[in-house]
Homo-oligomer: A and B are copies of this chain.
Amino acid sequence: MFSPLIDELMSSLRCLPGVGPKSAQRMALYLLERDREGAARLASCLDKAVEGVGHCSRCRTLTEQPVCGICNNSRRDDSLLCVVETPADVLAMESAGTFQGKYFILMGHLSPIDGIGPADIGLDVLLSRLQAGNVEELILATNPTVEGEATAHYIADQAKAQNVKVSRIAHGVPLGGELEYIDGGTLAHALSSRRQI
């Protein structure tokens, strides 16, 4: 319907998550009609990011520096290491504002069915970091999904073999949540993990 260049732009916009044919059309026409400057800036940012962004050599997060800002921050506690699945999880943990240790980002989780093994999620890097002996406590904050739990168990076994203290973040009823709307699995977990007060 549209000219080839515009059709091509629409189909390439669909690589963005959550963007279907209608949104892609709206985005392409909007950019061409009203914000060509923004489109050009977006193109150059995409190019620069694809070219420049790699992984932090210590925590594996996405960064264009050899070592990321958090790993480089000497005011953060080196003896506490929190394991999360993605860089977005780091952002979520930081928004809690109470964790002062460092992170290790798996960039995924163990998933033998997809061919993702321990080396693919950087567990060799994590192990050598534990062997170095600076880490006193390893906090497992992978997602409470089947794969996330399996990954947590696997890492816990490895860490215990290195005599590192291992903990898992608590799972239960979220603050502000109403019992009425919480699923049974979460409630069962909350009940079995109850604490004396």
With a cutoff of 8 Å between Cβ atoms, the chain B residues found around residue A64 in the complex are: 3-6
Q: How near does chain B come to A118, taking the closest CB pair, in angstroms? A: 19
A42's contact among B2, B15, B52, by CB below 8 Å, is which?
A: B15
Q: Is A46 an interface residue (CB 8 A)?
A: yes
Q: Is A25 an interface residue (CB 8 A)?
A: yes
> Can you tell how many copies of this chain the complex includes?
2
With a cutoff of 8 Å between Cβ atoms, the chain B residues found around residue A1 in the complex are: 90-91, 94
Q: Is the interface of A mostly helix, strand, loop or mixed?
A: helix
Ordered by A's residue number, 17 sampled pairs between the chains whose C-beta atoms are within 8 Å are: A2-B62, A2-B63, A3-B65, A5-B49, A5-B53, A8-B49, A12-B41, A15-B31, A15-B42, A16-B31, A17-B27, A28-B49, A31-B46, A39-B46, A39-B49, A42-B46, A43-B50
Q: Beyond the given A2-B63, A17-B27, A42-B46, please list 10 additional residue pairs across the A-B interface where CB-CB is below 8 A.
A: A2-B62, A2-B91, A3-B62, A3-B63, A5-B45, A5-B52, A6-B64, A8-B45, A15-B38, A18-B23
